[in-house]
A = this chain, B = another copy of it.
Amino acid sequence: MTFELKILGSASATPVLARHPTAQVLTADATNYLIDCGEGTQWRMLEHRVRPHHLRAVFISHLHGDHYFGLFGLLGTMHLQGRTQPLRIVGPPGLDEVLVAQARASDMHLGFTLEFTPVNTEIHAVVYEDEHLTVATLPMRHRIPCAGYLFTERPRRANLLKDKLPAGLTPAQLARLAQGEDLEADDQQPGLRHADVAGPAPAPRRYAFFSDTLYTPALADLIRGVDLLYHEATFLDEHRERAGQTHHSTARQAAQLAEAAGVKRLLLGHFSSRYKSLEPVLLEAQAVFPTAELALEGLTVNL
């Protein structure tokens, strides 16, 4: 089963040529989820062959333009492409009002239903569930209400251990065991418990998305040991005062949080346009978390 993250954009608010504002696609079991949707995201989806009408849900962190101004155009394109299945949008309260104002001005009547889940950005709570994922908010600290998101795969089934399987099982019985069911005893044979013939279930994979936030060490507790953390790293540590004023983090702080939380991998993003080269950003983080990587456009991380 796929559990893969693709970076569509990782620039911050001031536009820079050949870089793009925040947008990511998480693919869980062949289903796509969009995380933030900066201006131009639909062109990035074209570029990276992510089909708009295959999106199951969109998660918006906050209502600064570089994180959601691409949503209006994307919805219009889905409509033009004939989408009919509902789209779930999860985000801060107020997003729905902007969408409604926009649609009214354009006299746009979407051919599909928008289902909006307003989130409380102050707490850690489950806000979305389907057959592939559970998603919980992570309370960011930014200038306006802002949610990070923790994506947790649904529990995966344990594989059957061949050397524990008795001989003579029919294909139907094997299939039931593989589905996690127990076989009851009958005239022909004794019962067989799934737990007795299966290995341990693999741990559900987890991805934590830290959108714009002041460095907040306490958040480490909520994401301990995740497989992947994306943490904004708008500034270098030499500009940490500016980071504090604007409620952003530095590359070093992102790495410190990753280190404290014991995450397996760290991606850095949301780079300020002032840094023409991102090498100093990467090196600063790697001094604390040696395997840190830059979330550059097109990067794909298969977990």
Contacts and interface: CB of A to CB of B under 8 A. Distances in A.
A94 interface: yes
Interface residues of A, number: 36
30 contacts: A13-B80, A14-B77, A14-B81, A15-B46, A15-B77, A17-B46, A17-B47, A39-B42, A39-B70, A39-B72, A40-B40, A40-B43, A63-B105, A63-B106, A63-B107, A64-B106, A65-B72, A65-B102, A65-B108, A66-B73, A66-B76, A69-B72, A94-B105, A95-B105, A97-B101, A97-B105, A98-B102, A101-B102, A106-B144, A107-B143
Nearest to A17: B46
B39 A17 contact: no
A15 B39 contact: no
Contacts of A73: 15, 39, 65-66, 69
Interface in A71-128: 72-73, 76-77, 80-81, 94-95, 97-98, 101-102, 104-108
A98 B107 CA distance: 12
Contact of A17 (B43, B66, B70, B143): B43
A141 to B, nearest CB: 15
Given A97-B101, A98-B102, A101-B101, A42 B65 contact: no
Interface centre among A95, A102, A104 (most CB of B within 10 A): A102
A299 to B, nearest CB: 19
Interface of A: 13-17, 39-40, 42-43, 46-47, 63-66, 69-70, 72-73, 76-77, 80-81, 94-95, 97-98, 101-102, 104-108, 143-144
A1 B16 CA distance: 31
Contacts of A43: 15, 17, 40
Nearest to A46: B17
Contact of A76 (B40, B65, B143): B65
Contacts of A15: 42-43, 46, 73, 77
Nearest to A45: B15
Contacts of A104: 94
Contacts of A16: 46
Nearest to A21: B73
A102 B105 CA distance: 12
Nearest to A18: B43
A72 to B, nearest CB: 5
Pick the 4 closest A-B CB pairs, nearest first: A101-B101, A94-B105, A39-B73, A63-B105
A40 B9 CA distance: 13
Given A14-B80, A72-B65, A98 B105 contact: yes
B77 A13 contact: yes
Given A39-B69, A65-B72, A98-B102, 4 more contacts: A39-B72, A63-B107, A65-B108, A107-B144
Contacts of A108: 65
